Amino acid sequence: MKQIYSIFYTLLVLLSATLLMGFVLKKNVSVKAGFDSIPSRFQLKAERVSYLKNGLKAIIPAVKPVQNQVNTPKQNPVRIENEKLLTDVSIFPNPITDKLYLTYNVRKNTTVSIKIMDVLGNEVITLMSQRVEAGEQKNTFQLSNRLSSGFYFVRMIVGTESVIKRISVL
């Protein structure tokens, strides 16, 4: 009687272990229980994918401890406060009736392009496209009878930089 119980519990343990490991059971295989061979009506087959065995794969490089190294903070080079080519752009008066006064600073000698665009982004007038010296620049443009009343944008392009200001024409 004890032998039947031990065989029963052995089979029960093996069956539960195979189910937990992700195997599919088939017929006609013998299972060894340690002391003798017990014929069984099931066969183990590994058809199901076990995520415990085939889990997510990741390549993690080995981390080695650094010895005798002192951590010093990196020193950033001193930067100029304003590295932009084009600064201090001002347009006056706004709204405009006949003249447009434009002042700006250029950090180095470069080509400046000043255009007036409509609200859809279409170029209406090119006011200036020329090379200027570094420093403060003051320009005056006569706009009487060149623009109809409405809203426009003044676009200044200096190198790779662009500044856009809105103006109203009366």
- Cβ(26)–Cβ(18) below 8 Å: no
My answer on whether omega of the bond before 39 falls inside 30° of 0, hence cis, is: no
3-state SS of 46-83? Answer: CCCCCCCCCCCCCCCCCCCCCCCCCCCCCCCCCCCCCC
Q: How many CA atoms lie within 13 A of 75 on its CB side?
A: 2
Question: With a threshold of 0.75, does the pTM exceed it?
Answer: no
Instruction: Spell out, as residue ranges, where the chain has pLDDT lower than 70.
Output: 5, 15, 17-82
Please tell me the predicted confidence (pLDDT) of residue 6: 80
101-125 per-position pLDDT tens digit: 999 999 999 999 999 999 999 999 9
Please tell me the predicted confidence (pLDDT) of residue 150: 93
Angle, CA of 41, 47 and 42, to the nearest 5°: 5
Q: Which domains does the chain have, with CATH numbers?
A: 2-45 (no CATH), 86-169 (2.60.40.3080)
- Cβ(84)–Cβ(161) below 8 Å: yes
Residues in Cβ contact with 12 at an 8 Å cutoff, skipping those fewer than 6 apart? none
9 φ/ψ angles, rounded to the nearest 5 degrees = -70, -35
Amino acid at 149: S
